[in-house]
Amino acid sequence: METSKLTPLPKRVLTVKDVAEYLQVHASTIYRLLSKHEIPAFKVGTDWRFNIESIDEWRKVLENPRRKSP
């Protein structure tokens, strides 16, 4: 009987520690952003979680702010 190996799916939901590592910042920076409602996140019980696609989109917006028209 042949068993197939399953390829693990990439992690799409991150913890505070995960997102801090992903963004290369300290976890306290993530908590500060959370307290100011400046980073997309959701709670699971008492723990914060982050959707990686939302974090990537948030980063793109920060990297390319709209320029004001003259």
The pLDDT tens digits along the chain (70 residues) read: 555 677 666 679 999 999 999 999 999 999 999 999 999 999 999 999 999 999 999 999 999 877 555 5
Predicted confidence at residue 31, as pLDDT, reads: 98
Q: State whether residue 16 is helix, strand or coil.
A: helix
Predicted confidence at residue 67, as pLDDT, reads: 59
**14 burial class (0-12, 13-18, 19+ CB within 10 angstroms)?**
buried
**23 burial class (0-12, 13-18, 19+ CB within 10 angstroms)?**
middle
Strand ranges inside 1-70, DSSP E = 13-14, 42-44, 47-51
